Each structure stands twice: as structure tokens, then as C-alpha cells.
Amino acid sequence: MPDGLPSSSAPTPRRALLQRVLEVTISLAFLAVALQGIHLGDLWATLRGADYLWLLPGVVITVGLLFLKAWRWQLLFYPEHRLPFAPVMTALCAGYLASNVLPARAGELARLVLLVSEQPVSVARTFSTIIVERLLDVLTLIVVLVVLLPFVRLPVEMTRAAQIIGLVALLGAGLMALFSFWKERLLRWAHLLLGRIRFLDRPQIYDALGHLIDGFATLRGRLGLTLIAISLFAWVGVIGMAWSAAQVFPLHAPLTAMAFAVVVTTLGMLLPSTPGYIGVFHGLVWVALAPFGVPKDQAFSFALVWHGANYLTLSLSGMIALWVHGTSLGQVFRRRGGA
């Protein structure tokens, strides 16, 4: 087992309990808002009369996106590491499964532990790829949001805020690429600044920072263009999956509404919530579709079907990937404990 695998340290029981309470409270609050004013009998009738065959294209798209995102993660290790595709794909699917069934956003930890325990990559390098991957997703979504603004009727303050966020995102992308040219200089500055703070003046901190800067370097040149193109294509696929789920009823809303719902729900997942983002996801779908005149009961029905199809597809994919690999989530986390 490679050195540097995350240790078995965990938050105190009191802190973990408080975190679980916060997650459940936020999820229940969003769910309560989403259900307010909805008649369960009408909701059940709507769900019974839906055409669920429209979910098949969405399921195919979701599985295809898993392969696409695994390829992107594999490329983020270039040029230092050229990992086989199969273990990268398995770790990614395991991560989605863990996020769906375990608290505390365990998905990132699960895929990190699984990949590091079997491939010749360090924890710091793997963690840097996950950070860059998340930054790529957020930047791509913000670009989509800015493009959508002319088609969404939002309060002036929210529109301006979104435009400012877009400018900040573009500036952040430029800085990431710029930092990759200044690795040695940034590390010298880090030593000067962090050297005055005892608990931060550690080799692990500087090593992680160096790997993060190396991760930014993947955004340069032809490889960077490929990663950006994959990210854009992946989110187009997510929007396509949402559109497919909307045809189940059908939901009379334009494609721009589906794209806006994808942006709002994905950015909203930064909030603490229960595994699978239950409640938060459903409440944010209604918030996103309200500007398009979609009735609340239709928005909630759509949220249930869209979330359910996505949840089951990702969970089943993770279970199959781990079964083919010959392991389980429990065994993956025991590797962490044995480091």
C-alpha cells in the first residue's frame, strides 16, 4: 500500500453528530418548502400517468458521462502518470456510490483511497486532480449560467451578481493557468508566509501545494483545451439527461429551463445535505423552474423522477464497478484505516 494513504483519523463523535444534524435539518427544510402547497393525491396521479420510457435515453447518457468523466480524471494525471482506465473508472463509480449512500460527502474520500491504494500515485497528487476537476466543473457551470442570463427573468441584483461571478470565474481560470508557470516562485512565497505559522509549516503542506500547481498546468496547451472540451460536453450531457426526464410528463419548459435547473441544483449541492442531496435537490429544482412559469407540483414531480433516475443509475453503476473489481465500500474504507 503506498505511503501517504489517508489515516483513520475522524471527527469527534460530538462534531460528527452536529454535522449530521445540520445536514438532516437543511435537507428537511428544503424538502418542506418544496412540498408546501402540493396535494399528495395529485402528485401520485401525475407520477402514475407518466411515460417512464423517456428515462431510458437519460440513463444511457448518464452511463456515458461516467466514462467521459473517468477519461477526464485520467487525463488530469498527465504527464507524470498514465494510469490504466479501468481502475480510474472503478474509483470514480465507487465515489458516486459513496456520495449517494454515506454521509459527510464520503465519495471523494472513497475514490481517493481506492485509487491511491492500488496505483502508483500519491495522495497529494490525486487530491490535486480532484480539486482541479471540481474547479473545471464550477467554471464550466458559471460560463453556462452567464450564457443563460439573457433567457432567464431574474431580479436585477441576481443578474448582476451572476455577471460578477462570471467575471471572477474567468479571472480565476486565468490565474490558475498563470500560477502553473510560477511554481517555484509560489512555493518560495509559501515558505516565507507559512514558515511563520508553526502548524502550517509542514512538508506535507508544501507538497500538496506543489501538486496543486502541477494540476493547474494540465489546463495549458492542447491538453487543457481537451479537458475544457470534455467538461463542456459533459455538462451538455447532463442537460440532455434533464431534458429526457422532463419528457416523462411532459414538462412544458424550454431547454434553457433545463440548463438553468442543472446549474442551480449543481451549485446548490455545495450546501450540507443528507446523502444523495435529498431535499436540497428537490427544493432547488422548484426554485430554478419558477422563473419559467412551471407550476410547483409539476416541478416537484420532475425533480422526483430526475433525481430518482440519476440516483439509481449512479448507485447501480458503483455497485457493479465494485463487484467486477472484487471489493466493496466497506473494504475500501478499511484500507484507509489500515494505513
State CA 154 to chain mean position distance.
25
For 63, 82, 92, 187, the CA distances from 118, given in Å and listed in that order, are 24, 14, 14, 29
* Domain boundaries of the chain, sorted by first residue: 36-337
Count CA atoms within 13 Å of residue 309 on its CB side: 25
Q: Are 280 and 271 contacting, i.e. CB atoms less than 8 angstroms apart?
A: yes
Residue type, 9: S
pTM summary value:
0.86
pLDDT tens sequence for the chain (339 residues): 455 565 544 567 777 788 888 888 999 999 898 888 888 888 888 888 889 999 999 999 999 999 999 999 999 998 888 999 999 999 999 999 999 998 877 889 999 999 999 999 988 889 889 988 988 888 888 888 888 888 887 777 767 777 777 777 777 777 777 777 777 777 788 777 877 777 777 777 877 777 777 777 777 778 888 998 999 999 999 999 999 999 998 888 899 999 999 999 998 888 888 888 989 999 999 999 988 889 899 999 999 999 999 999 999 999 999 999 999 998 998 877 544
